[in-house]
Amino acid sequence: MKTTVTRRTALAFGAAAAASTIMRPGIGRAAAPFEQPPLPYAEDALAPDISARTVALHYGKHHKGYFTKLNELVAGTKYADLSLEDVVVQSHKDGELAIFNQAAQGWNHNFYWEQFKGGPAKPEGDLAARIESGFGHMGGLVEEFGAAADAVFGTGWVWLVMDGEKVALRSYQDAGNPLQDGLKSLVGIDVWEHAYYLDYENLRAKHVTRVLNNRVNWVAVAERMA
Ligand SMILES: [Fe+2]
């Protein structure tokens, strides 16, 4: 479904997020030039689980770079008139891998930073029940999440998604995300080395465990699920 927005009247992602705890990365934003949303907290806000140095590099260099390259690639193309989310979906359908990679990484990182805003908060209510149904308990989800992260060869992402009425894990290589499969994203963890290597060296699953337990705002996750 195409997201309809009015150029310049659409809220910037950061402002929209500030107005609501429900995260909708890329939705409601104008088309190209695509802009990297502001980091929704200080660079040291996630320490010690994610250091200020990692955030500075990850947000300030890697995330920013995806938007710079995306704008170069879509200039003068049909993608320049789409929302960021629609660029991800359409470029994937079209097999335009270069554009997909930059657009998806832009969207993925919008999601990644936003999910920590207001955290930590534990899963409650219907979300907690679905986690128990799918993984036994929160610890089971965290353990399976870490194992899935370790199983990604090279670069990629692991996502908690809604699959029908269930919550489930999906792993993707490189810039992949659940948008390409029409699934709703609930939590997205970056397993590229730039996300964790400065703080955890090769211990990828340790990073995943710390972030899930100590940083994710699971109350906001429940709102996304609803
Ligand atoms: Fe990243």
User: Ligand 1 centre and the CA of 68: distance in Å?
Assistant: 15
d(CA 197, CA 207): 9
134 touches 216 (CB < 8 A): no
List phi, psi (to 5°) of 203: -90, 70
User: Ligand 1 centre and the CA of 63: distance in Å?
Assistant: 7
User: Ligand 1 centre and the CA of 133: distance in Å?
Assistant: 30
pLDDT at 176 over 50: yes
Count CB-CB contacts under 10 A for residue 52. 14
- Reported as a single tens digit per residue, the pLDDT across 65-106 is 999 999 999 999 999 999 999 999 999 999 999 999 999 999
For tokens 């938007």, what's the residue? Answer: 67
In the structure, what pLDDT confidence band is assigned to residue 10 with cuts at 50, 70 and 90?
Answer: very low
Opening angle at CA 17, ends 107 and 179, nearest 5? 30
Starting at the edge strand found earlier in the chain, the sheet holding 184-190 runs 166-173, 156-163, 184-190
User: Ligand 1 centre and the CA of 62: distance in Å?
Assistant: 6
User: Ligand 1 centre and the CA of 155: distance in Å?
Assistant: 9
Find, among 205, 212, 136, the residue nearest to 167 by Cα: 136
pTM: 0.86
d(CA 23, CA 6): 20
User: Ligand 1 centre and the CA of 193: distance in Å?
Assistant: 8
What pLDDT score was predicted for residue 75? 95
% residues pLDDT > 70 (the chain): 86
DSSP string, 119-176: --B---HHHHHHHHHHHSSHHHHHHHHHHHHHHS-SSEEEEEEEETTEEEEEEEETT-
User: Ligand 1 centre and the CA of 109: distance in Å?
Assistant: 6
Structural domains in the chain plus CATH codes: 13-36+50-114 (1.10.287.990), 125-225 (3.55.40.20)
Helix (H/G/I), strand (E/B), else coil: 186 = strand
In the structure, what pLDDT confidence band is assigned to residue 26 with cuts at 50, 70 and 90?
Answer: low
User: Ligand 1 centre and the CA of 100: distance in Å?
Assistant: 15
Q: What is the dihedral angle through the alpha carbons of 73, 70, 160, 142, rounded to the nearest 10 degrees?
A: 120
User: Ligand 1 centre and the CA of 129: distance in Å?
Assistant: 30
- Reported as a single tens digit per residue, the pLDDT across 131-140 is 999 999 999 9
170 touches 178 (CB < 8 A): yes
User: Ligand 1 centre and the CA of 204: distance in Å?
Assistant: 13
N residues, the chain: 226
User: Ligand 1 centre and the CA of 21: distance in Å?
Assistant: 22
Instruction: For residue 84, give the DSSP letter.
Output: H
- Reported as a single tens digit per residue, the pLDDT across 43-53 is 999 999 999 99
In the structure, what pLDDT confidence band is assigned to residue 30 with cuts at 50, 70 and 90?
Answer: low
User: Ligand 1 centre and the CA of 195: distance in Å?
Assistant: 5
Q: H or E segment at 189?
A: strand 184-190
